[in-house]
Chains A and B, each alone.
Chain A
Amino acid sequence: MSTSLWFDNPRSLIQNELRNFLRGGSNWDRSDWNMARSRRLSGVFPPVNIYDNGEGFRIRAEMPGVDKESFDISCKNDQIVIRGERKLEDVEQEANFHRREREGGQFRRAVSIPQPINPDKVIAEYKQGILDIFAPRAEEAKPKKIEVR
């Protein structure tokens, strides 16, 4: 399910591609390859940006209009999983749509962090439609200052 460039689990990515390849058998052709490729490049919702300030990592995702209660965020040593659902409000039946560009639906995104984090100290905030997660580095992953005697 996670199909981003390199922050997601590469093994499952390859397994998925292989499974599709085997199922398709001889139907595997260039257009299938292009589809697989564009799917991988388009990624999994939500797109994330990851930042580092030495103390830890910050993962930010633009996801306006998500009910805070629907978020289910969990973390392990080096991975944060973001789950939830974006629901669009019901519009009265007789309303006449001129444009409909916004989408609702479920999402599940696993983000791998390049270094171990301290899962007990991860903080998540949802403000103005932006999910902002702070994940401090695990103690053993923090740079140690060495005294010169």
Chain B
Amino acid sequence: MTRTVNDETSELQVHQKEELQSSEGTREGVYFKPNVDIFESDEALMVVADLPGTAAEDVEIDLRDNMLTLTGIVDTGWGDNWQPLYTEYRSGHFTRQFRLGQQIDQSKITAEMTDGVLRLKLPKAEHSVPRKIEVTTS
């Protein structure tokens, strides 16, 4: 049976936000699991996370014992004078943890926040970067 609605593959679909157990956050409030892309190149591991509503200064990145924790604290106090009429999504903070299989050079980690998207670059420690051995001719 053919359908016209939502047949275009390039059309964005709605995915409900996944709520985490309250014990997982350190702050009061509801926590959701952010969507992430994680990819690896020879030199670094890149983590891209969707944290809508989080200001750059409210992103917390913690890396210890190869456990990476991302937290985005979202300002939920803006709507005090606003009466909700219709709600399709819930608001709250974001948090997620990953165990890294690579040694990371902590001193070279960089993070950038643009339009609610966190781009975290975790450069691999020297010894885990594959070394290219140059062959010289005499």
Interface residues in chain A, defined as those with a beta carbon under 8 Å from any beta carbon in chain B:
1, 3-4, 7, 16, 19-20, 23-24, 27, 32, 39, 42-53, 57-58, 62-66, 68, 86, 88, 91-92, 94-107, 114, 126, 128-130
Contacts and interface: CB of A to CB of B under 8 A. Distances in A.
A34 B14 CA distance: 17
Contacts of B42: 94
A87 B70 CA distance: 23
Contacts of A47: 14, 88-89
A39 B13 CA distance: 10
B52 A128 contact: yes
Interface in B96-121: 114-117
Interface of B: 1-6, 8-14, 16, 35-42, 46, 48, 50-55, 79, 81-89, 91, 114-117
B89 A45 contact: no
A78 B71 CA distance: 38
A16 B88 contact: no
A3 B5 contact: yes
A62 B38 CA distance: 21
A128 B117 CA distance: 8
B39 A96 contact: yes
A50 B84 CA distance: 6
B14 A44 contact: yes
Contacts of A4: 88
B117 A65 contact: yes
Given A52-B82, A53-B82, A65 B13 contact: no
B93 to A, nearest CB: 13
20 contacts: A4-B88, A24-B1, A39-B5, A49-B89, A51-B83, A53-B81, A58-B79, A64-B116, A65-B50, A65-B114, A65-B117, A91-B39, A95-B39, A95-B40, A97-B37, A102-B50, A105-B13, A107-B11, A128-B53, A130-B53
Nearest to B32: A62
A1 to B, nearest CB: 6
A114 B51 CA distance: 30
A45 to B, nearest CB: 4
B37 A27 contact: no
Given A19-B4, A64-B50, A129-B53, A100 B37 contact: yes
Contacts of A66: 115
